[in-house]
Structure 1
Amino acid sequence: MRRKPTKAVLVLQYGILILGALFAIYPLWFALIASGRTGDRLYTLNLAGMFVPLEWTFENYRTMLFDRPLLTWLRNSLYVAGITTVVSLIVTTSAAFAFSRFKFYGREFGLILLLAIQTFPGVLALVAVAQLLTALGLYGKHEGLILAYTSTTLVFSTWNMKGYFDTIPVELEEAAQIDGCGPVQSFILIALPLARPALAVTALLGFLAGWGDFIFASVLVPAPDSMKLVVPGLYSMANSQSVPWGYFAAGGLLIIIPTILVFLFLQRYLESGLTVGGVKG
C-alpha cells in the first residue's frame, strides 16, 4: 500500500511548485507592467514598482496599434503562419499515412533519413535555403518563407503522425473498404477523424513555426515594413541610440493573443484514447 507523504514533504513539494510557477509567470507579468509605464522606461527606482503597477497608461498600446505598422506585421504573420499550417497538415498527413500503411522500397531508409535530418539545427541550413529560394525566385517573398517553414516542420510532424497512425487499427479502414469506400475515402473518413489529436499537434507546430520565428523571417524576407513579419518588425524599432521598451512590451503582449486563441481552439482535440473501443471484441 502506498504511503501518504508527510506534511513536511507536501509543504516542500507545493513550495517548489509555487516557486516554479512564479519563475515562469514573472517575465510575462514584468512585460505587462513595463507596457503600462510612461515613456520608454523599462525599470523604476521604486522597488514596489518592479512587482506592482504603480502607474499605468494605454499610450504604448495606442501607439503600437495606430502609429506603428503592428497591424500590418500581424496580418503578414497570420498569412504566413496560416498557410504554413495548412500546407504542413496536407503534406505531413499524406506522408505519414503512406509510411504507416504501405510497404514500399526505401521506406525504412526514408524514415531513418528523416530522423537524421531532425538531428541538425535548422539554422545550419539557412544559407542553403536562401540559395534555393533565390534560384526559385522566392527570396524576399512570403511564399518562400512558407516553403522554408513547412520544410522545417515536416520531419518531426511526419514521425509524430506516423506513430499515431500506427495506433489506429487497420481493421477499421478494411471494414470501410468492404462497405464500398476506396483507399482515399477510408483515409479521409476513417483515419483522419481518429487522428485528430495528432492533427492538432501538427497544426499547432505549423502555426508556431510561422508565427514566432525571428532568424528565418529576418534573413529570408529582408523587406520594408509592409512585408515584415511581427517579430522582425518589433526588433526593427530599436536603434543604436534607444530601445522603445514600452512599445516592445505592449507589442509583445499583443502578439501572443493569436497564439493563445489557436491553442485554446485546438486544446479540445488534444486528447488521447479516441481509438479505444473502435474495434468490437
Structure 2
Amino acid sequence: MIRKPSRPVLVLQYTILILGVLFAVYPLWFAFLASGRTGDRLYTLNLLGMFIPTEWTFENYRAMIFDRPLLTWLRNSIYVAGVTTVASLVITTSAAFAFSRFKFYGREFALILLLAIQTFPGVLSLVAVAQLLTALGLYGKHEGLILAYTTGTLVFSTWNMKGYFDTIPIELEEAAMIDGCGPIQSFILIALPLARPALAVTALLGFLAGWGDFIFASVLVPAPDSMKLVVPGLFSLANSQSVPWGNFAAGGLLIILPTIIVFLMLQRFLVSGLTVGGVKG
C-alpha cells in the first residue's frame, strides 16, 4: 500500500512545482508584455507592468508583419524546415528499416559509427560543411542548408526508428509477403503505418532542425533579407546603436506559432515514439 505524503511534504512538492512552472513560463510572458509596450522599451518603470499588461499596443506586431520582411523570413523557414522534414523521414525510415530487418556486412560497425558521430557537437563540422557546400555549388542557397540539416538529424532519428521497427513483429511482414506483397510493399503498407509514433518524432526533429537554428543558417546562407530564415532575420533587426525590443519580442512570439501547430498535430504520438524507440537496441 502506498502511503500518502504528509501535509508538509505535499506543500513542499507543490511549491517546487509552482516555482518550476513560473521559472519556465515567465520568459515567454515577459516577451508577451514587451511586445505590447510602446517605444521599443524592454522594461517599464511601473512595477505592476512587469507582471501584467498595464499598457498595450499592436504596433509592434503591425510593424513586423507589414514593415519588416518577417513574412519572407517565415516563407524561407517553412520551405527549409518542410523539405528537411520530408528528406529526414524518407532517408531515416529506409536506413532504420534496413538496420532492423536485414543482416549485412558492416551493419554493427555502421551502427557504432553513427553513435560515435553523435558524440561530436554539430558546430565542429561547420567549416567542413561550408567547404563541402561550396564545392557542390550550394553555399549560400537554401538547398545547401537543407542538406546540412538533414544529415544532422539522421543519427538520432535512425537509431530511434530502428528501435521502433525492432518492436514490430516481423511475422506481420512475412504474412503480407505470403499474401503477395513484395518487400517494398510490406514496408510501406505494414511497417510504416505501425511506426507512426516514431515517424512523428522524426518529423518533429526534422522540422525543429530547419526552423530554430541560428549558427548554421547564419554561416551557410549569408544572404540579404530575401534569403534569410526567421532566427537570423530577427537577429539582424539589432544594430550597434539600438535594439527594437518591441519588434523583436513580437517577432519572437509570431515565429513560435508554426512550431506550436506542428507539436499539437504530432503530440499524441510523441511520448510512445520516444520511449519505445529509445529502449530497444
- TM-score, normalised with respect to structure 1: 0.96
Instruction: Give the structure 2 partner of residue 197 of structure 1.
Output: 197
Q: How far 1:47 moved relative to its partner?
A: 1.2
Secondary structure of residue in 2 paired with 1:104: coil
How far apart, in 1, do the equivalents of 2:141 and 2:271 lie?
37
Instruction: Give the structure 1 partner of residue 254 of structure 2.
Output: 254
Instruction: Give the structure 2 partner of residue 75 of structure 1.
Output: 75
Instruction: Give the structure 1 partner of residue 267 of structure 2.
Output: 267
Q: How far 1:24 moved relative to its partner?
A: 0.2
How far apart, in 2, do the equivalents of 1:2 and 1:42 lie?
49
Secondary structure of residue in 1 paired with 2:272: coil
Instruction: Give the structure 2 partner of residue 50 of structure 1.
Output: 50
Instruction: Give the structure 2 partner of residue 159 of structure 1.
Output: 159
How far apart, in 2, do the equivalents of 1:119 and 1:89 lie?
22
How far apart, in 1, do the equivalents of 2:216 and 2:140 lie?
11
- Structure 2 letter corresponding to 1:212: G
Write the deviation string for residues 62-91 of structure 1: whole angstroms up to 9, x where unpaired: 000000000000000000000000000000
How far apart, in 2, do the equivalents of 1:269 and 1:160 lie?
14
Instruction: Give the structure 2 partner of residue 3 of structure 1.
Output: 3
Superposed, 1:85-164 pairs within 5 Å as 85-164=85-164
How far apart, in 2, do the equivalents of 1:272 and 1:206 lie?
18
How far apart, in 2, do the equivalents of 1:272 and 1:134 lie?
40
Instruction: Give the structure 1 partner of residue 188 of structure 2.
Output: 188
- Structure 2 letter corresponding to 1:23: F
Secondary structure of residue in 2 paired with 1:13: helix
Write the deviation string for residues 200-231 of structure 1: whole angstroms up to 9, x where unpaired: 00000000000000000000000000000000
- Structure 2 letter corresponding to 1:186: S
Write the deviation string for residues 127-179 of structure 1: whole angstroms up to 9, x where unpaired: 00000000000000000000000000000100000011011111111111111
How far apart, in 2, do the equivalents of 1:108 and 1:35 lie?
52
- Structure 1 letter corresponding to 2:92: T
Secondary structure of residue in 1 paired with 2:213: coil
Q: How far 1:268 moved relative to its partner?
A: 2.7
Instruction: Give the structure 1 partner of residue 210 of structure 2.
Output: 210
- Structure 2 letter corresponding to 1:101: R
How far apart, in 2, do the equivalents of 1:220 and 1:207 lie?
18
Instruction: Give the structure 1 partner of residue 40 of structure 2.
Output: 40
Equivalent pairs, count: 273
Q: How far 1:272 moved relative to its partner?
A: 3.5
Instruction: Give the structure 1 partner of residue 220 of structure 2.
Output: 220
Unaligned 5+ segments in structure 1 are 274-281
Q: How far 1:271 moved relative to its partner?
A: 5.4
How far apart, in 1, do the equivalents of 2:14 and 2:146 lie?
44
Q: How far 1:270 moved relative to its partner?
A: 2.9
Q: How far 1:269 moved relative to its partner?
A: 2.7
Write the deviation string for residues 16-69 of structure 1: whole angstroms up to 9, x where unpaired: 111100000000000000000001100111111111111000000000000000
Which consecutive segments of 4 or more residues in structure 1 shift more than 6 A?
Answer: none
How far apart, in 1, do the equivalents of 2:167 and 2:12 lie?
39
How far apart, in 1, do the equivalents of 2:66 and 2:247 lie?
12
- TM-score, normalised with respect to structure 2: 0.96
Residue 240 (1) aligns with residue 233 (2): no
The CA RMSD over aligned residues, in Å, is 0.9
Secondary structure of residue in 1 paired with 2:162: helix
Unaligned 5+ segments in structure 2 are 274-281
- Structure 2 letter corresponding to 1:19: L
